[in-house]
Structure 1
Amino acid sequence: MQQPQDNEFTRAEEIRKLRVIPELISHHLEIRGDDPAVCQFNAKTKQWETLSFKELYARALDWANAFVASGLKKGDRVAMLLPNGIDAVCFDQGALIVGLVPVPLHIIDTPANCAYILEDSDTKLLVTVNRARWHAIQATGADLSQLRTVVYIDDESEPESNEVRSVNVAEWLKEGESVLTLPPGPEEEDLAALVYTSGTTGKPKGVMLTHKNIMSDISALLYNIAPNPSDTWLSFLPLSHTFERTTSYYIGLGMGNKVTFSRGVARILDDLKLVRPSIMMSVPRVFEKVAAKINERLKQKGAVSRLVFNAAVDAGYRNFCRCNGLPVDSAVPAAFDRLMDPLYDKLVRNQIKNSFGGRMRVAVSGGAALSPEVAKTIIGLGIEIFQGYGMTETSPIISVNKIEANHPDTVGPILEGIEAKLGEKDELLVRGPQVMRGYWKRPEDTFKTLDPEGWLSTGDQADILPGNYLKIKGRIKEIIVTSTGEKVPPVDIEQAIETDPLFDQAMVYGDNRPFIVGLLVLNKDNFERFVVSLNLDPKDPEILTNKAVIREILKRIKTACKSFPQYGVPRSVLLLKEPWTIENDSLTPTLKLKRRVIVAEHGDEIEKLYENFGK
């Protein structure tokens, strides 16, 4: 008897028959229940541990029983403040199995932000790492009167109080053993998550996503990029990001793949070599840092090494263009590139491929725009990057490039089932089953963003190209309009500047001003070497305003921004040593710049840049 086919297409069709998120795990139990599902490093045993789909589902049921034993009812909100790992998956699956609404919190978010979200969402139970996390939230003084229980993963239970019960996870899970039957599970239109947006311009808003929203996005995404049965994933972006939840977690496990959770950003390079993933979700900053390190090393090499490196990148990118139906901007014949490939692989590309584990098949970049120069370099070195675009409000993916139809100057074709059009100022408007129900307790904000006909205002300027490919031009609110009327998309300029390893972070400014200025956070070690190369003293207290330093930095910026119109290139700069972080309220939990906060912090210094220009 012929065995049924098992490939990416048949598994994608399995998913399209599912209705709610817990079925992404449970539908494997009879077919591939013993296959590995999730893997993490156990810091206590110093060993990697793996659960099969059967073991994962059984553990998720234990969590579901404990939720019920805690007196929670369908629709109640439960929050998670945990790092990526098996506990985070069990929390999510256990909550969804009994119709609760997970509220994922970012593990590195501030206590004040976490407290605001807990209060706004009326969360009744919180699971977190230890009592220190909870006590820091408690100390903010937020009204958390709805919160009944806090569960600690690493700490023991605390004495009962009149306000909140604090209990160790093992003790809490044991209480679930008294539950004999679980209540009915969720329906498609029930909420599957309350995910709070980053809040770059104000308090974060809770995005209400249903099971149907998320399952629709998954089903559509699989037409563009479908993992095959042998793929393995490495998850390192926080599961509080809808991007990571929908892709590495829901799609990875839904397709029956093994998902390994990284030990953290500090160990990502080690984990890539150890896990050797074939699929990874990432953000542009990761690829930009890789490219910056490559550029830094190249500067220390001889002319011949640089020539060979550039030839390898150019040939690799030409091969990529040929495979993806893109025009090849060169007269070099394909036969010559194929002839040289083994040499280029040996001398240049294999080192980069191996640093990603050696098996990387798909690297998806989302969350922000990727510099074209960085994309060309990484792709030319053999790591194919697929850019995508979306937002929390759309569960989150709106478009992503396709395998063998990958156009890096776009964010890919719009997913099947999503309607798109351009509104005023070329704002992208979308409509489809992925679009959120609305903002939690924010009817006015919902009305501003979601019209009565179901069209969602994305806030992004875009072009819709042939083949339904999408090109994002920038955030409407962020686009700088100078006093001379020139329009400057700041993110593109900032990314170009950050390709220079001298700069860790960049922000450009110039609304209603005669020209653009740049605020630049310096890389400490590289800046010291740079200053010494100018025969100056890095310890000079006036070094950040030294005219020779500023002059040379402006030259470097001009080189990095050579592909941009001159009116978009900073003509004066403010040099900074302290980085922008979540802790100092300069970045959102998704690492986006809080531009208003940064401008307010450095307002006087920015004014002086304009006053003293040319003096």
Structure 2
Amino acid sequence: MTGAIRPGQLHSPMKLTDDSNLSDLFLARIAETPDAPAYRQYTGENWVDMTWGEVGREVGRWQAALRKENLRPGDRVAVCLRNRTEWVLFDQAAIGLGLVTVPLYFDDRPENMAFCINDAGARVLFLENGAIWPAMREQAKTIERVVCLNAIPPDDTRALALQHWLPPEGAAPARSPARADDLVTLVYTSGTTGRPKGVMLSHKNILSNVLAAMKAIPSRASDRFVSFLPLSHMFERTCGYYTAICCGGQTVYARGISVLADDIREQQPTVLIAVPRIFERIWGRMQEQMPAGSPKRRLFDKSVEVGWRRFQGKAGAMDRLLWPVLRALVAKKLYHRLGGRIRLIIVGGAAFSPDLARVFIGLGLPIIQGYGLTETAPILCANREHDNDPASIGRPLEGIEMRLDESGEILARGPNLMLGYWNKPEATAAVIDKDGWFHTGDLGRVRDGRFYITGRLKDVIVLSNGEKVSPTDVEQAILMDPAFEQVMLVGEGRPKLGLIAVSSVESEAELCERANRQLHGFPGYTRIHHVARIVGPWSIENGLLTPTMKVKRGEIERRFRAEIEAMYRRDLRTAGGT
């Protein structure tokens, strides 16, 4: 950030400068539009709204509760909740007191959460489901207070129900004493070592990214967001949560994935922050309802074909005549499923398949793909509404430099680049060079200022929901079971992990079960959902191993492509639709 900054949609007298922090952003929003709707949440009986002024008063109450815990600026506090207003209240209360928020994945296993808590040295833990606390009580050694939204564990003096922890009232929300370069959050992300690393992000890292994103893809005070991606991920946190504060839009917290389709249709968002998996599920359901070769499918395919030409600016006279009819018969139904008010869909977290992009953009959905990493808070580049090449990840945001090194790896630097990995100077030095360039691990090319991903330098699988898995660590763990002779993990860009295995055990279901037994110490999303059993060993002679006995991943995927596709087709037939 350079000089005084006033984002286009934020007209508060409080200017945001190089010294501003996230607390300034929040307080400016309250001062500007105290009576405007901020959040909507389902209570179990009905939807309840909160205004920005009401949110501010609640944050003051939560800060009063945190002050009683004798915390000092810089202390870490952990939060493990589904997306809901209490997540925001806890986070903003912590930010205003100069504390450091440590978000935990809600569906993670207790032992993995305990590792993150101990590594961060978190002193306070806010749990939605207090029933999991006994499973981690002995492991989470640094916790002094556990605040539970529900299911209070018995016989533990550290645990309190939220209603007993909060005072009846509090003062006005405090402004954080933190400087812009001070740490504001530790976000744990999986790498190649099997154990997650704590990414240190400052106020400036996040705030600069919010403001740059607003310039590239503006949000409006009239926008409504439906939040369903985990707030423990920086993608949702920056693009949904903090950006909504910046623009003054309203956020509706979805009730859950099982009823997400209903919530989107009924709440009528204008902006969706999504991962490719959402569109994979929609497309899977569509294909079930439209068998190949059926009249309905032929009409659908024609709509996509004409719509895609319109998007590319290549529509002919016949296309212009056909499109209004095709839109009314086909595309309009999809818009209705998304609430009928969508003006922008931002897709990130994993690669968006060109085939999927063609289908949904061809139907007229305003989809913008971007790219980034937790270490970059997270956005590095993105397409724009009127400068959109879906095959690319777009152009760098303002203030961010990107280039390719001699190996073709994408490098980046800017005010959004992390402070480093928590207590891991060697790991930090391995990804940030002496000139301040962050090495992303992704290979790319550049054309006309746009960046295109061409592969991965690091051996990491990225699932379609954005989760990262180190295949080497997983494979080594599975091979501890003698039932497996050779294995290779697959799942890049897929919704779930699969395994190709050379084994004398004939039952693929048994192999799947045995593989998962070996993965007890891994994060919860590291689970094998499919196994393809292969007969015969992989060797140097048959071209599936290198001379140093390493698996040739690309060659194995090519040779066993049919088996891999068969695994995921079975899953697609049983998957639910969004």
TM-score (norm 1): 0.75
Partner of 1:312: 303
Which residue identity is paired with 2:161?
A: N
1:153 to 149, 152, 158: 149
> Given the alignment, which residue of 162, 171, 182 partners 2:164?
171
Q: Structure 1 residues 108 and 582, CA, compared in 2 at 3 Å: closer, same or farther? A: farther
Task: Decide whether the 8 Å contact of 2:29 with 2:245 is kept in 1.
Answer: no
Show CA shifts across 1:543-581 (max 9, x none).
Answer: 97xxxxxxxxxxxxxxxxxxxxxxxxxxxxx99877999
- Identify the match of residue 231 of structure 2 among 227, 232, 239: 239
Question: In terms of mean alpha carbon deviation, does 277-286 or 185-194 score higher?
Answer: 185-194
Which residue number corresponds to residue 81 of structure 2?
A: 82
| Residues 388-427 of structure 1: pairs in structure 2 closer than 5 A | 388-427=370-409
Moved more, 87-96 or 415-424: 415-424
Cα 1:582/1:150, change in 2 over 3 Å: farther
**Which of 203, 207, 214 is matched with 1:222 structurally?**
214
| Shift of residue 188, structure 1, vs aligned partner | 0.8
Any conservation in 1 of the 2:372–2:381 contact (CA below 8 Å)? yes
Q: Give the TM-score, by structure 2 length.
A: 0.79
Q: Distance in 2 between matches of 1:285 and 1:582?
A: 26
Q: What is the aligned partner in structure 1 of residue 429 from structure 2?
A: 447
1:558 is matched with none
**Counterparts in 2 of 1:610 and 1:107: CA distance versus 1, 3 Å:** same
Q: Which runs of 5+ in 1 are unaligned?
A: 1-6, 323-327, 480-489, 499-506, 511-515, 524-540, 545-573
Q: Does 1:478 align with 2:452?
A: no
* 1:30 alignment partner in structure 2: 31
- Change in 2 beyond 3 A, CA 1:175/1:442: farther
Tell me how far 1:186 sits from its aligned partner.
Answer: 2.2
| 1:350–1:581 distance in 2 versus 1, CA, 3 Å | farther
Residue 447 of structure 2 corresponds to residue 465 of structure 1 = yes
Q: How many residues align?
A: 507
Q: Which amino acid aligns with 1:248?
A: G
Whether the 8 Å contact between 2:59 and 2:173 is mirrored in structure 1 is no
Is 1:321 matched with 2:334?
A: no
Q: Unpaired segments of 5 or more residues in structure 2? A: 1-5, 466-470, 476-486, 495-504, 543-558, 561-578
Contact (CA 8 Å) 1:269, 1:355: kept in 2 or not?
yes
Q: Is the CA contact 1:69–1:176 (under 8 Å) kept in the aligned structure 2?
A: no
Using a 3 Å threshold, how does the CA distance of structure 1 residues 432 and 98 change in structure 2: closer, same or farther?
A: same
Q: Paired residue for 2:414?
A: 432
Change in CA separation of 1:16 and 1:113 when aligned onto 2, cut-off 3 Å: farther
One-letter amino acid of the counterpart of residue 353, structure 2: S
Residue 273 of structure 2 corresponds to residue 292 of structure 1: no
Residue 40 of structure 1 is matched in structure 2 by 41
CA distance in 1, matches of 2:252, 2:14: 21
Amino acid in the other structure paired with 1:21 = L
* Structure 1 residues 224 and 75, CA gap change in structure 2 (3 angstroms): same
In 2: Cα distance, 1:477 partner to 1:382 partner: 35
**1:423–1:14 Cα change, 3 Å:** farther
1:339-354 map, 5 Å? 339-354=321-336
**What are the residue-to-residue correspondences of 1:1-20 with 2, within 5 Å?**
9-11=8-10, 17=16, 19-20=20-21
Post-superposition offset of 1:182: 5.6
Report the alpha carbon displacement of residue 30 of structure 1 after superposing the two structures with TM. 3.4
Alignment of 1:472-551 (within 5 A): 472-478=453-459
Alignment of 1:98-117 (within 5 A): 98-117=97-116
Q: 1:25 to 1:583 in 2, by over 3 A?
A: farther
Could you report, residue by residue, the CA deviation over 1:490-540 in whole angstroms, capped at 9, with x for unpaired residues?
87xx98xx9xxxxxxxx9999xxxxx989699x9xxxxxxxxxxxxxxxxx
Corresponding residue number in structure 2 for 1:63:
62
Q: Distance in 2 between matches of 1:264 and 1:396?
A: 24
Give the counterpart letter for 2:274 in structure 1.
S
Query: CA 1:32–1:184 in structure 2 vs 1: closer, same or farther (change >3 Å)?
Result: closer
C-alpha distance in 1 between matches for 2:392 and 2:330: 27
1:151-181, Cα deviation, whole Å (9 max, x unpaired): 01124575454xxx1111111111875x899
- Identity over aligned residues, as a percent? 34
Q: Identify if the C-alpha distance between structure 1 residues 130 and 295 changes in structure 2 by more than 3 Å, giving closer, same or farther.
A: closer
Query: Match of 1:382, SS?
Result: coil
Q: Aligned with 2:141: secondary structure? A: coil
What residue is the counterpart of 1:93 in the other structure? 92
1:251 matches 2:250: no
Match of 2:318 in 1: 336
User: Are 1:427 and 1:462, in contact at CA under 8 Å, matched by a contact in 2?
Assistant: yes
